[in-house]
Structure 1
Amino acid sequence: MSRRAISIALALMSPAAFAAPFDTCPSKAYLFQSTPVQVYGVNLVTGSTTLLQSDTGLNANINGVGFDFEDRYIYGYDTTNKQIVRLGQDFQAEVLNVSDVPTDHTFFVGDVYDHTYYLYRQGKGLFKIDLSPLDSDPNATLVMEKITNTASVRLTDFAFHPGNGGLYGIDNQTGNLYLFDTTDGSTTLVGNAGITGTFGAGYFDVNGYFYVSRNSDGDIFRIDLSDYGADGDITAVKFADGPNSNQNDGARCANAPVIDEDSTIDFGDAPDSYMTLLASNGPRHQTGTAYYLGSVAPDSEGDGLISPLDDNKAGLADEDGVGFVTALEAGSSAIVSVQASTQGYLSAWIDWNADGDFKDSGEKIISDSLLAAGANTLSISVPVDAAVGSTYSRFRFAEQSGLDFYGGATTGEVEDHPVTVMKSGTTLVHYPSEQGYATIAYEDNWPKEGDYDMNDVVIRFRMTETLDEDNHATRILITGYLAAYGAGYHNGFAIRLPGLNQSDIDSAATTLKHNGVVQENNGLETDSTEAIFIIDEDLKTKIPSGECNFYRTAQYCQEALSFEFEIDIYTNEGVNTYGLVDMPYDPFIFSTPGSYVRDGIWYNPGRGLEIHLPDQAPTEQFDTFLYGWQDDDSVPAENRYYKTSSHLPWVLLITDEWKWPREHIDLIQAYPLFAGYTESEGVSNTTWHAEENAAENKIYVPEE
């Protein structure tokens, strides 16, 4: 019979006789509980459950369920009436015609693979039913065949691996994980999972992770069988809290990812050494509940957002619930302010020894503190031997207590924050603020005015100085990211510390990171007397390759952020830094050596072409021949630099997360008040850059 004929025949049947299959291979796990059976949707990532159907049309328990991803039905065993059923997307049970079904016992273990339904009962055997006759006739009589009488493993569920087709199950009493041969029923011991109990529901995901749910407490465990379980550690790890039940069985489409595109989960964003990503069993919370930190409820992510992204750079700026009121000084107490949406439990960790994890003794700084709705003030003790410098903290808030720094939760939010541990007697000074970013935007056509869209290079950054008891800067931490790159030219990015020389820098202690990875070169320019740090010589190589030539400057170019940097600068002991200029020092771009020259310049100036903030003198590497060339109206004798004759700069510095003009949109078209601002040399129209002063459809708006 043709597929069209089958479709017509099925359409003529009543809905009660033949329910529609699932539309897709869903990411949800389905949990069958109680008598009469109730069907729940389970988010394996967080453990949250939703009742999907309380009436399947049968006043019976359904167990031994499995999802057939070939026809997209769930098959199960009616333990009350000892019959085989299947359910479609409406979860109405359809009784199938099956011969040779045993009448002397029931089944509680089952799954489907390769269009075959397998059932198991300890002491009775392993059975199978070929489901393919249903493809042409939903009323066909199926046959249950016994594969073997041998069935000694104490199972309450098993599941098929989507990669190798292996059938896996855990012996409830011993915790041993077995691989079952579906041709003869023989078993192979894979290893011990380290858990015991009644595991009434088992599931796989498309990546080869095996999930089991324990009836007594609802705990969901995960076993990494992504390498097909042939070798390695198969120890089960606590993954999430699920529902407990004494009648429990589960089914899931194993070909689906465990998180779908409609994720409603909040993740952390510290480096993955802190267990952040889902693959690492990172912390995550079901969103859309009344439990969260700060004034902004968390948005949803498909996974943890590690460098160059974090949760405040993608989507809503929702990491607003935790503030350090006082500095973290080694050997002292510190005050932390935490805002909670409602009453709930808070736990928190700080990596005191800066070894990249929260596993060490004493690193759990808050344990199940019951917060009230609103602002809460907490005190923490900083160990006297805490490592001085940058490290990470993690705060988790939820309705439930007992959370660790990893694993799923059904409510709440996780916030990861970089923090700095200081020596006693030191102070921190931030630019523009502790958590905010300043925006610096360049027109790289200098010395020509060009299209003046001020989006050729856009960087957001923040700076923190650590001052000793004599107010000398002993450490300068600069972090930032490339927010947009509309340039056709190749540009490098650097920061000079005017007032300091290269010899003032402790080069051995100073580090440069790109996307969280320490670089071999710390960026200090060795052929300059001044303290100049090259963040990157060619930013154009840091943007994603693809069809879009205007990285985050044309409105249709919505690529994700791809380049983040951190430079941690230490001065030599005893260096006098009173001559160091105030933050933000001197951030500038330069022409990448060996790259295409600027239009109208007949030679390649390379590093010698620099573009600085207005009235900022260039570095010693600058090619002075370029002064006054084309549209440049620099007059060094008058300390006038990088301006046109009408006072237009080539660089803008805004102490906020400013939205730049779209590609080829002149700055004055995008922000009309800027003209008056420049004509008055900064006296009038000081809020020209505010978003409410932008022209409609002239600025770039990220759609993250």
Structure 2
Amino acid sequence: MKQTYIATMCMLFASGSAIADPFENCPSKAFLMQDSVAKLYGIDLVSAKATTIAASLTREGAANTSSVNAVGFNYKDQYMYGYSKQAPGRVVQIGNDYDMTVLDITGLPDTNFYVGDIQVTGSGANQEAYYFVYTPNSGLYKIPLNGDLTQSIASIQYTGSENWNLNIFDFAFHPNSNLLYAMESNGNLHEINVDTATTTFITQLDTAGDSGAFGAAYFDVNGQFYASNNKSGKIHKVDLSVSPVVGYTPTAAVFTSGPKSGQNDGARCAIAEVKVTDNSIDFGDAPSGYATTLADSGPRHLYDPDDDGENLVYLGASVDGENINTAADLAAEPIDNSDDGVAFVTDFVGGQNTQIIVTASQNSYLYAWFDWNQDQVFSADEAMLDKVAINAGDNSLLIPVPETTLEGNTWARFRVTDGSEASNISATGGVSGGEVEDYEITTYASDAYPSENDWVTLSYEDKWPFAGDYDFNDLVTHFRSTRYKENGAVVGYRLEGEIIGVGATYHNGFAVRLYDQINASTERRVNRNEIDEANISFTIDGVVQETSPLEAGRSDAILIVMEDVWDYVQKNGGCQYFRTEANCQSGTKVTFSMTIPLLTPKALADSPANVLDPFIFASADHFHGDFMNSIDKRSWEVHLKNRAPTEAFSNELYSVSGSDDASNPAANSYFQTTSGLPWAMEIGAAWKHPIETIDITNAYPKFAAFATSAGKNSITWYSEPQLSKVITSGAQ
């Protein structure tokens, strides 16, 4: 459009002509007339690029001082027509020098027309053009444009049209049926037959939250209807290729985003095709069912809107343009090498949070959709990120995966912008600037213990085999385990938790064995050689851990969460321990998350579940009691009551002199005193642990009855603490 304008203006100046010429061809771009003092923009509907065609217009050589509305493009004579509000208000013809020539139209009421378009009928020598204008109070008028336009032209009023009461701000003629279509502020779509002077309500369209005036309406040669919302700038597309509308219900989709304005009117050559004309457009590449094609208003970004390669907004290391916009293009399964900005740290499991790392070129804004129900639609309730501010570089984000997520392969869509869009974008449509990246992902069903959103509390004493102070706060952690399931088999595990208290003078590590014991004769375990070690993902406080947590040299799968818990927690000033002293109850909890995929699916009946086997062990190179001086530190472990130790455990520890432990491996009795008190506990809720040196039986008076009865009595002991003797923030 810009090139046509420059070339034609040069021709005019060279010839000395003072009469505006028509536009040279039927432009693909849409014209958008905006503002109280009219400005004219060209809108590339594919790329969303808005080009200022005329920063100001003139009216018969003088400066224009008001708005121009009701514009339409006449492809019979290649001129635009509109209604100039500048007093006295008149119908005007606009040529390619953007000077308005006033037409002498009789029979029009003294009002400001803001709804208008051009109807072209017939072909060849029989082709005729008519300019139609409308206001709700005065109705519809028809103005012939076929004779000598320098002469007076009589308008024709459509009797009764003043009673239509259509709350519309623009309309457009269908290129084939010559029916008018218009959209009201609430999305109501109307069809107008000018031959019979009748209107038909078609349907109320879903306009993605837009309301207010749809001030610009267009058609393309394929019968696609476009309506631009003044407030948001969004241009909605409606497939009206079959006209009149009979036997189907049209739907709307956001096609692109243009400039917003309080005053907005549009025109377009209705027989021009909407097509890709810019090489710097990045398209989505999910399968065509995801409304990815241009025909389906697919997602696309004009990533270099200023054509200068500067300050580009994109994800990953690069962005490029590709003309992948048809179903045939997508059927070839194209690979976009610039889709490299999102890394998936943990798996997508129903009911869990998934961590992703998003790398951005600039401070920008991120949108993301996930097809959780695998229906090939990115619906509004599947928008997990909605214009979330991100920084240049790496950004760690959590995605909540719904419990109802179906297992299997599906797709995710990410869109990044500079944030200048007038309103939040959807999973489809064009945007100026930014990038779209589509990813195929795998989702899993799951069973979480204790549940997707709750914790158990694990509490340990580290003086075993001696009783110690029995305050059960040497290590206190919230914990949750999840089995990933696919097609009725287990395909992986997830371990997650948060360290909430460390009251130990010794240095302890924390680990989990993928093992459980159903009864004295039935064990379930995952062997080390069943683990897909290369694809384990592991974070502590959101930081990816580079070393494998799978303990080497073992037959069982043992995952080392922390070799030494003290290396990760931070004591507050003046505190000897971490969140276990009366005056030291605050402190930042340390979180951990580990996803462990299996090499091949494992039968549910053979796969350990529930709390598994979490335990503490003595950290290497630290003192852990005189009795350990000649024994490998790793061989000391404390497990939950009656849970057998791992293969790393030293049986020598069962016979330490002066021990309070009454373990009897032959009777499957482990880690308990003669009275049944344990050294490790699982509490089925978030829990307030005892203050340093306060015996648990004093902090929780009913605990002893629970422990010595093998859990038969006082089963809710943990809900009745002596508040002065516990860390009240322990459960938080």
TM-score by length of 2: 0.52
Instruction: State yes or no: 1:253 paired with 2:269.
Output: yes
The residue that corresponds to 1:324 in the other structure is 344
The residue that corresponds to 2:565 in the other structure is none
Give the alignment of 1:654-673 within 5 angstroms.
none
CA distance in 1, matches of 2:281, 2:145: 36
Give the drift of 1:300: 4.3
The residue that corresponds to 1:409 in the other structure is 431
* Equivalent pair of 1:179/1:188 in contact (CA under 8 Å): yes
**Which ranges of structure 1 fall in alignment gaps of 5 or more residues?**
1-9, 429-466, 474-569, 575-704
Give the alignment of 1:291-310 within 5 angstroms.
291-301=313-323, 303=325, 307-310=330-333
Q: Deviations over 1:475-510 (max 9, x none)?
A: xxxxxxxxxxxxxxxxxxxxxxxxxxxxxxxxxxxx
Could you tell me which amino acid in structure 2 is paired with residue 295 of structure 1? A
The residue that corresponds to 2:133 in the other structure is 119
Instruction: State yes or no: 1:354 paired with 2:374.
Output: yes
Q: Flag the 1:95–1:149 CA change in 2: closer, same or farther, 3 A.
A: farther
Q: In the alignment, which of 342, 347, 362 is matched to residue 362 of structure 2?
A: 342
The residue that corresponds to 1:396 in the other structure is 415
Instruction: State yes or no: 1:148 paired with 2:159.
Output: yes
CA distance in 2, matches of 1:16, 1:341: 51
CA distance in 1, matches of 2:340, 2:67: 47
Q: Flag the 1:295–1:118 CA change in 2: closer, same or farther, 3 A.
A: same
Give the drift of 1:180: 2.2
Q: Flag the 1:246–1:335 CA change in 2: closer, same or farther, 3 A.
A: closer
Q: In the alignment, which of 212, 219, 225 is matched to residue 210 of structure 1?
A: 225
Q: In the alignment, which of 61, 65, 68 is matched to residue 71 of structure 2?
A: 65
Could you tell me which amino acid in structure 2 is paired with residue 389 of structure 1? G
Q: Flag the 1:293–1:222 CA change in 2: closer, same or farther, 3 A.
A: same
* Equivalent pair of 1:342/1:372 in contact (CA under 8 Å): yes
Q: Deviations over 1:675-696 (max 9, x none)?
A: xxxxxxxxxxxxxxxxxxxxxx
Give the alignment of 1:262-661 within 5 angstroms.
262=278, 264-289=280-305, 290-301=312-323, 303=325, 307-310=330-333, 312=335, 317-328=337-348, 333-359=353-379, 363-382=382-401, 386-400=405-419, 402-421=424-443, 424=484, 426=491, 470-471=529-530
Could you tell me which amino acid in structure 2 is paired with residue 301 of structure 1? N
Give the drift of 1:46: 5.5
CA distance in 2, matches of 1:352, 1:186: 45
* Equivalent pair of 2:254/2:428 in contact (CA under 8 Å): no
* Equivalent pair of 2:366/2:389 in contact (CA under 8 Å): yes
CA distance in 2, matches of 1:374, 1:571: 36
SS in 2 for 1:151: helix
The residue that corresponds to 1:646 in the other structure is none
CA distance in 1, matches of 2:82, 2:276: 25
Give the drift of 1:250: 0.7
Q: Flag the 1:107–1:15 CA change in 2: closer, same or farther, 3 A.
A: farther
Q: Flag the 1:212–1:325 CA change in 2: closer, same or farther, 3 A.
A: same
Q: In the alignment, which of 70, 81, 89 is matched to residue 82 of structure 1?
A: 89
Could you tell me which amino acid in structure 2 is paired with residue 221 of structure 1? H
CA distance in 2, matches of 1:268, 1:50: 24
Q: Which is further off, 189-198 or 341-350? A: 189-198
* Equivalent pair of 1:157/1:200 in contact (CA under 8 Å): yes
CA distance in 2, matches of 1:95, 1:161: 27
Could you tell me which amino acid in structure 2 is paired with residue 359 of structure 1? S
Give the drift of 1:66: 0.3
CA distance in 1, matches of 2:81, 2:324: 30
Give the drift of 1:396: 1.2
Could you tell me which amino acid in structure 2 is paired with residue 151 of structure 1? E
Could you tell me which amino acid in structure 1 is paired with residue 365 of structure 2? Y
CA distance in 2, matches of 1:299, 1:260: 11
Q: Deviations over 1:83-123 (max 9, x none)?
A: 22222334x12314434153622311111121221122223
* Equivalent pair of 1:282/1:304 in contact (CA under 8 Å): no
Give the alignment of 1:680-699 within 5 angstroms.
none
Greater C-alpha radius of gyration = 2
Give the drift of 1:160: 0.2
Q: Flag the 1:62–1:386 CA change in 2: closer, same or farther, 3 A.
A: closer
CA distance in 2, matches of 1:297, 1:275: 21
SS in 2 for 1:256: coil
Give the drift of 1:366: 3.1
Give the drift of 1:398: 1.1
CA distance in 2, matches of 1:257, 1:67: 15
* Equivalent pair of 2:38/2:68 in contact (CA under 8 Å): yes
CA distance in 2, matches of 1:270, 1:245: 33
* Equivalent pair of 2:143/2:153 in contact (CA under 8 Å): yes
Q: Flag the 1:333–1:104 CA change in 2: closer, same or farther, 3 A.
A: closer
CA distance in 1, matches of 2:95, 2:241: 29
Q: Flag the 1:149–1:391 CA change in 2: closer, same or farther, 3 A.
A: closer
For the aligned residue pairs, the C-alpha RMSD in angstroms reads 3.6
Q: Deviations over 1:26-54 (max 9, x none)?
A: 22111111232100122334644222211
The residue that corresponds to 1:56 in the other structure is 57
Q: In the alignment, which of 168, 187, 197 is matched to residue 185 of structure 1?
A: 197
* Equivalent pair of 2:42/2:52 in contact (CA under 8 Å): yes
The residue that corresponds to 1:22 in the other structure is 23
Could you tell me which amino acid in structure 2 is paired with residue 205 of structure 1? D
* Equivalent pair of 2:299/2:428 in contact (CA under 8 Å): yes
Q: Deviations over 1:313-337 (max 9, x none)?
A: 6xxx321222224454666654322
* Equivalent pair of 2:73/2:117 in contact (CA under 8 Å): yes
SS in 2 for 1:391: strand
SS in 2 for 1:133: coil
The residue that corresponds to 1:541 in the other structure is none
- How many residue pairs get aligned? The number is 423
CA distance in 1, matches of 2:23, 2:400: 54
SS in 1 for 2:295: helix
Give the drift of 1:140: 5.1
The residue that corresponds to 1:105 in the other structure is 111
Could you tell me which amino acid in structure 2 is paired with residue 191 of structure 1? T
Could you tell me which amino acid in structure 2 is paired with residue 150 of structure 1? S
Q: Which is further off, 62-71 or 256-265? A: 256-265
Give the drift of 1:64: 0.8
Q: Deviations over 1:61-92 (max 9, x none)?
A: 221100112222111111213222222334x1
CA distance in 2, matches of 1:14, 1:145: 38
